[in-house]
Amino acid sequence: MKHGLPNDKGKIVNLKTSSHTADLIERTQELKRKKNAVILAHYYQDPDIQDVADFIGDSLELARAAQKSKADLILFAGVHFMAEGAKILNPSRKVILPDLRAGCSLSDSCPPERLAKFKKENPDHFVISYINCSAGVKALSDVICTSSNAIKIVERAPKYRPILFAPDRNLGRWIAEKTGREMTLWPGSCIVHETFSERKIIELKVHHPDAELIAHPECEESLLKQADFIGSTSQLLKHVIESAKQTFIVATEAGILHQMQKRAPTKTLIPAPPNQNCACNECPFMKLNTLEKLVHALETEGPEVTVPEAVRLQAERSLRQMMDWS
Ligand code: 13P
Ligand code: SF4
C-alpha cells in the first residue's frame, strides 16, 4: 500500500464506545482543529487511537506523511524514534509524543557511542540502519531503511564495501538471504517479535490447515522460514485484504489486527500466540500512549520531541538517502 490508510474522519464513534471515550474523542477532534494539529499513528497503537488518527501507516509511510505535513503541530502516536524521525524530516513543525517513555528495545540495543566505536574500528563499512534507531544512530549511518524498503536499499549499497546492518539481526539476516549480500549484523532484536511460540503456531496450523502464516521480518529466522508471507505492517495488511485466503495467523504486534478486521471484515484473523500466557505480543512501549495522554499532549503541546541541530542535519542526510533510493 503506497500511501497508508487515511481515516474516515468524523465517523469514529460506534455504539460500543463508552461515554468517557466518546468525550475524549470529541475533545481530540476539537483540539486538532483549534491547534491545526495532525495525528499520525502506527498500527500498533490501541484501536481508539488508530480511530482518531488522521493517518495510519507503516514506518516508511509515516515518515513520508510527517515530511510533507503542513500542520503546525504533529502528534506522533507511536514511539520515540518515529517522532524524532518526523522532527528530523520536518524541523519547522512542533512534534509531540504523548508519553516520552515510549521507547523501543531495538533502538536501545544500539547506542550511538557503540556504533561510533564500531565505525572507528571498521572505517571501510557502509552502515545501513533500520529506522528503529535513535537520531544519534541515524546521524552515524550512511542510509536508513524500513521493513518495506530494506531489500531495495541493500541492493543499492556500494558493491565494493562491506556492510554493517544495524540494529535488527532478524531483519538483517532475512534481507541478506533475499539479496545475497553478506552483511555484518548488529546483535539487536525486538522484544515483541521474538516472543512468538513456534510450538503453538504449529498447533494452530494443524487446527487450521488452510490458514496462512503471515509474519513481520523482525520475527526470528525459524519462524520466518515457516511463514507464507513476510512484510512490513502495511504489506501484511494489504496481503490480508487482497489474498484469496480466508484465515491468517498473524505474527506481529497485535494492534494491527484492528485495521485488518476493519479493512477485511470477512477474514478470520488469529494472533500468533506468545511463548508465555502473557500479552507479550503487545508492544509495551507503543501501549504507553493512551487517549487521555493524547488529549493532554494536544492541550499542553507537549511533551515535545527535539533533536540537536548538528545531529538532525546528519540524520536527515541518511533519511533523505533512503527516500531517494526507495
Ligand atoms: P513497520 O510498521 O515499518 O513494519 O515497523 C514495525 C515496527 O516494529 C515499528 O516499531
Ligand atoms: Fe520496538 Fe518492537 Fe515495539 Fe516495534 S514492536 S516499537 S520494534 S519494541
Distance from residue 106's CA to the centre of ligand 2 (Å):
7
Residue 286 Cβ inside 6 Å of ligand 2? The answer reads yes
What is the model's pLDDT at position 277?
A: 79
pLDDT score at 314: 98
- Same domain? For 210 and 252 the reply is yes
Instruction: Clarify whether residues 300 and 261 are in a common domain.
Output: no
Statement: residue 2 has pLDDT above 50: no
The answer to whether residues 147 and 237 belong to one domain is no
- Of ligand 2's atoms, which has the minimum distance to the CA of residue 193? 2
Best residue for ligand 2 mutational test, from 46, 76, 105, 186 (most atoms within 8 Å of Cβ): 105
Position 87 in a domain: yes
If DSSP states are collapsed to H, E and C, what string results for the chain?
Answer: CCCCEECCCCCCCCCCCCHHHHHHHHHHHHHHHHHCEEEEEECCCCHHHHHHCCEEECHHHHHHHHHHCCCCEEEEECCHHHHHHHHHHCCCCEEECCCCCCCCHHHHCCCHHHHHHHHHHCCCCEEEEECCCCHHHHHHCCEEECCCCHHHHHHHCCCCCCEEEECEHHHHHHHHHHHCCCEEECCECCCCCCCECHHHHHHHHHHCCCCEEEECCCCCHHHHHHCCEECCHHHHHHHHHHCCCCEEEEECCCCHHHHHHHHCCCCEEEECCECCCCCCCCCCCHHHCCHHHHHHHHHHCCCECCCCHHHHHHHHHHHHHHHHHC
Quick one: 125 and 47 in the same domain?
no
Give yes or no: residues 97 and 128 share one domain.
no
Domain harbouring 91, CATH code: 3.40.50.10800
Predicted pLDDT of residue 17 = 67
Residue of 170, 195, 253, 256 best suited for mutating to test ligand 2, as the one with most atoms within 8 Å of CB: 253
Per residue in 23-40, pLDDT (tens digit) is 999 999 999 999 999 999
Ligand 2 within 6 A of CB of 106: yes
Q: Are residues 95 and 117 in the same domain?
A: no
- pLDDT above 70 (res 292): yes
| Distance of alpha carbon 232 from alpha carbon 253, whole angstroms | 11
* Mutation pick for ligand 1 pocket among 58, 97, 149 (CB with most ligand atoms within 8 Å): 58
Band (16; pLDDT cuts 50, 70, 90): low
Q: Are residues 124 and 112 in the same domain?
A: yes
Residue 223 included in any domain: yes
| Mean of pLDDT values over 154-173 | 98
Indicate if ligand 2 lies below 6 Å from the C-beta of 191.
Answer: yes
The answer to whether residue 21 sits within a structural domain is yes
Residue 27 Cα distances to 35, 98, 292, angstroms: 12, 15, 10
Q: Which domain holds residue 243?
A: 198-271
Same domain, 93 and 121: no
Distance (Å) from CA 279 to ligand 2 centroid: 14
Question: Do both 98 and 120 map to the same domain?
Answer: no
Residue 51 is assigned to a structural domain of this protein: yes
- For residue 89, is pLDDT > 70? yes
Residue 4: predicted pLDDT:
57
Task: Indicate whether 236 belongs to any domain.
Answer: yes
Q: Considering the domain boundaries, does residue 17 fall inside one?
A: yes
Q: Based on the domain organization, do 87 and 159 belong to the same domain?
A: no
* Ligand 2 atom 2, closest CA: 190
- On the question of pLDDT at 135 being above 60, the answer is yes
Q: Which of 135, 162, 189 is the last residue of a domain?
A: 189
Domain count, the chain: 3
Same domain, 245 and 183: no
Question: Could you report the per-residue pLDDT of 99-111, keeping only the tens digit for each?
Answer: 999 999 999 999 9
Distances (CA, A) of 281 to 101, 133, 183, 261, 306: 19, 21, 29, 17, 30
Task: Tell how far the Cα of 219 is from the centroid of ligand 2, in angstroms.
Answer: 11
